[in-house]
Amino acid sequence: MDLFLLQAAPVVSNANSSYNYFPIGIQLLFAAGFVFTILGVTHLLGPKRKTEEKLRNFESGIEGIGNARQPMAIKYFLVAILFVLFDVEVIFFYPYAINFRELGWKGFEAVLLFVGFFLVGFVYIIKKGALTWED
């Protein structure tokens, strides 16, 4: 009896054959079919009330005023880029905070050098007036 069961099982010689991925493909087909079926049914059965108020553009609940293509001050973008830059630099303090005992005084000197470069860059940005607002 056991010999029959072993012979009846399909033999797959290659572990990466397409036969092994067949159940995943079937599941993906059923998932995609379910999504498209639900979207189609809701589109066909859902209400269709297109009023002027519903079709009007808005952003965050605020009516649009003026032309969307008017120039914007570069200061907004500069502050955003500087925030990302300094925020990413602060992430480098985490490995030191975790391993400060193993790093010893050499690690402390390296972190002081890093903070020094960090502060020199910050002073440079302030001297250039990147954070002053004239608008």
Render pLDDT for 45-102 as a digit per residue (tens, 0 to 9). Answer: 988 888 887 777 766 767 667 777 777 777 778 888 888 887 888 888 888 888 888 8
Q: How far apart are CA 40 and CA 19, in angstroms?
A: 32
Question: Which range (36-40, 82-86, 113-117) has the least confidence?
Answer: 82-86
Side-chain-side CA neighbours of 106 within 13 Å: the count stands at 2
CA 73 to chain centre: 26
**Using an 8 Å Cβ cutoff, are 96 and 89 in contact?**
no
Distances in Å between the Cα of 115 and the Cα atoms of 74, 97, 109 are 28, 14, 10
List domains and CATH numbers for the chain: 2-128 (1.20.58.1610)
- The Cα–Cα gap between 110 and 96 comes to 9
